[in-house]
Amino acid sequence: MARNKFDVDEELIESFNASQMKRLARYCLPHKRKLLIVMLLMLVSSVLAMLPPYFIRDVIDKYVPDRDYVMLVIAALTLVAAQVVITYITKYKAKSVNKIGQDIIHDLRLDLFSHLQKLPFTYFDSRPHGKILVRVVNYINSLANLLSNGIVDIVTNVLSIGVILVFMFALDVQFTVICLIGMPVFAVTIFILKKYHRRAWQRQSSKQSNLNAYIQESIQGIRVTQSFARENENFKTFEELCEDNKSSWKKAQYISLCIPNFVQIISAVTLAAIYLSGVDRISEGVLKVGVLIAFTGYIGRFWNPIIALSNYYNELVTASAYVERVFEMMDEPLVVEDLPDAETLPQIKGRVEFKNVTFAYEEGDRNILENVSFDVSPGQSIALVGPTGAGKSTVINLLARFYDIQGGKILIDGHDIKHVTLSSLRSQMGIMLQDSFLFSGTVADNIRYGKLDATDEEVVAAAKTVCAHEFIEMFPDGYNTYVNEMGTAMSAGQRQLISFARALLADPAILILDEATSSIDTETEKALQKGLEKLLEGRTSFVIAHRLSTIKNSSKIMYISDGGIQESGTHDELMQKKGKYYELNMAQFKYLNV
């Protein structure tokens, strides 16, 4: 797995293309009726906006020479009325278009987030979390304007170019042709610039993402940074990342800012060309002066929408660098997902079978487990022991189907876990992972995460079972004490107990404890085990621990190393066998007495 870190730009698998455009359009499609209405209204409003020049012409040509005050007042009142209509249209547009825009980014973000929930651990493990965060929040926000006002304005601008072109052709074909010669020049320029332009914004989004990743890690790793007094070193790195971000932004802007400039210059050149040819034709007597003057008036109206479009083009290029990343994440394959014919796993009784299971974290890596088979009867407590990194956690990860195996089968009550839905499988398991993660919220919220509709009594009962009640009560706010992922006044052991309570509250048919008590003192652990004993009656449990006192009373102890189960049996059986487990057990006395 190619892992990414903060100072490495991410590779782009698929760059912005027509199919992504189509996908984006799909988000706009539900709003097409509203969009159409707005566009029509915008046309009305732009026609009304043409009124002032019209009246001014009349003022100059008619009302002033005729000294017609009445018409002057009528003209002024008509303009006021027109402006009232325009104002209402503007209000309507702002309201509905922004609603559409917010709806689209809302939907897009929801889809992205929902997909994120299905992505495997490996996705999260292989890149800085800050890089995921910016996609869901910042990148999508950046699309809001383009997907709302952008669409409407692009369409209305294109329409108005069309309308003006009709007028221009009607007025004078030759001039119109001269005017249009500017277009291919502009198109070619854009085409040449496009590659650099796109690449510049892609680079910028990568740099932005690197910077964000570094910020996030710096915040989360602040304890380590401070305890190693590495602030200055970090600051240097941060400054470099900021500098990269700054210079990539400026470079991208060099190109972006050119584009409206080009349009203006091309428009000025065509204007000059029209004067040249116009004066020529007038001197030849084939053109009337009025036509030339009227035509130059239209040139401005022709180029204005093009300038507006070129600004949207810039926005589109910037946005496409974000759209690429967003869709890339949406296309991220799900390593583990429900099969189409997945069934709901019925209430688990607790029989677990591994049949010739072979597994490697990545294709081509060494197999962590090779041909592993074992059988657990309902209600048994299984302890997994062995050297670190031997595959104890892997067994547990496979049982909860966090990964799919490459060979063999895993059965629960005879159901192949590959053929049941993930939620029916995992919701019946209580898994306490090595890292006890607390969400920001109260202690009670965190325990309740195991069973969302648990009553306060149930929460307290779970806390009592794991011996957490006493210390929770001692916090100033008790169960309402605010905690977050950075920890609190709570020690690692206390946090483990809270996540333990959470796992218990889930009332799992299978309980999995992965180093669940490593930071808990043996006294507490002893009390905890007593509480657990009753609770675990009839449930299958898997326990990984290094402390032998934790696992001594298990119904079966499995010693895992070198890709397989080397020994299995009860404590007494294994002690008699005088194998690896025996050695492990004796070690603690040996080390104690040296």
Partner 1 sequence: MEALRWLGGYIKKYTFIIILAAVLTLIHVTVIFISPYMSGFIVDDVIVNGKYALLGKYLTILLASVAVKEITWYIRQNLMEHVSQSVIKNLRCDLYEKLQRLDFKFFVETRTGDLMSRMTGDMDAVRLVMASTMANLFQMICLGAIGLATMFLASPILGLSLLAIVPFIGVFAFKYSRVSKPQFLKVREVLSRLNSVVQENISGNRAVKAFSREQFEIDKFEKVNNEYRTEQLENVAIWNKYVPLIDFAAAMTNVIFIFVGGALAIAGKISIGQFTMMNGILWCIVSPMQMIGGFANQIQQFVASSVKMRTLLDTEPAIKNEKVTVDHVKLKGKVTFKNVIFSYDDERVLKYVNFVANPGDTIGIIGPTGSGKSSLVNLISRFYDPDNGAVYIDDINVKNIDVTTIRQNVSMAMQDIFLFSDTIEANIAYGVPDATHEDVVRVAKAADAHEFIIKMPEGYDTIVGERGVGLSGGQKQRIALARALLKDPAILILDDTTSAVDMETEYSIQETLKKSYSNKTTFIIAHRISSVKNADLILVLSKGRVIEWGTHDVLLSKKGYYYEVYENQFGDFNNAPDFEIDNYYEDEQFLERQVYRNGKK
Strands 540-544 and 381-385: parallel
Binding positions for partner 1, 563-592, rule CB under 8 A: 584, 587-589, 591-592
SS3 339: coil
Binding positions for partner 1, 413-452, rule CB under 8 A: 422-423, 425-427, 429, 431-435, 437, 439-440, 449-450, 452
Binding positions for partner 1, 121-180, rule CB under 8 A: 121, 124-130, 132-134, 136-138, 141, 144
The single residue among 14, 331, 365, 375 that binds partner 1, judged by CB under 8 A, is: 365
Binding positions for partner 1, 97-126, rule CB under 8 A: 98-99, 102-103, 105-106, 109-110, 113-114, 116-119, 121, 124-126
The single residue among 18, 70, 80, 170 that binds partner 1, judged by CB under 8 A, is: 80
Query: CB 489 → partner 1: shortest distance, Å?
Result: 4
Tell me the torsion sign for CA atoms 167, 171, 173, 179: negative
Does 334 interact with partner 1 (rule: CB under 8 A)?
no
Size of the site for partner 1 (CB under 8 A): 177
Tokens for 542?
């898997």
Query: Cα–chain-centroid distance for residue 526?
Result: 43
Binding positions for partner 1, 231-260, rule CB under 8 A: 231, 233-235, 238-239, 242-243, 245-246, 249-250, 253-254, 257-258
Nearest residue (CB) to partner 1, 39 versus 215: 215
The single residue among 47, 50, 177, 276 that binds partner 1, judged by CB under 8 A, is: 276
Instruction: State how far the Cα of 301 lies from the Cα of 161, in Å rounded to an integer.
Output: 8
Nearest residue (CB) to partner 1, 124 versus 191: 124
Does 480 interact with partner 1 (rule: CB under 8 A)?
no
Query: Residues near 505 by Cβ (< 8 Å), separated by ≥ 6?
Result: 447, 448, 450, 451, 454, 458, 459, 462
Residues in the chain: 594
Nearest residue (CB) to partner 1, 254 versus 375: 254
Query: CB 29 → partner 1: shortest distance, Å?
Result: 19
Binding positions for partner 1, 481-540, rule CB under 8 A: 482, 484-494, 496-497, 499, 502, 506, 515, 518-524, 526
Binding positions for partner 1, 10-49, rule CB under 8 A: none
Instruction: State how far the Cα of 422 lies from the Cα of 348, in Å rounded to an integer.
Output: 14
Nearest residue (CB) to partner 1, 56 versus 166: 56
SS3 47: helix
Binding positions for partner 1, 48-77, rule CB under 8 A: 52, 55-56, 59-60, 63-64, 67-69, 72-73, 75-76
Does 553 interact with partner 1 (rule: CB under 8 A)?
yes
**Residue of 203, 298, 310, 309 lying closest to 247 (CA atoms):** 203
**Amino acid (1-letter code) at residue 378:** P
Query: Cα–chain-centroid distance for residue 341?
Result: 29
Query: Residues near 65 by Cβ (< 8 Å), separated by ≥ 6?
Result: none
Q: CB count, 10 Å around CB of 211?
A: 21
Instruction: State how far the Cα of 441 lies from the Cα of 427, in Å rounded to an integer.
Output: 22
**Amino acid (1-letter code) at residue 294:** A
Q: CA-based angle 270:276:279, to the nearest 5? A: 135
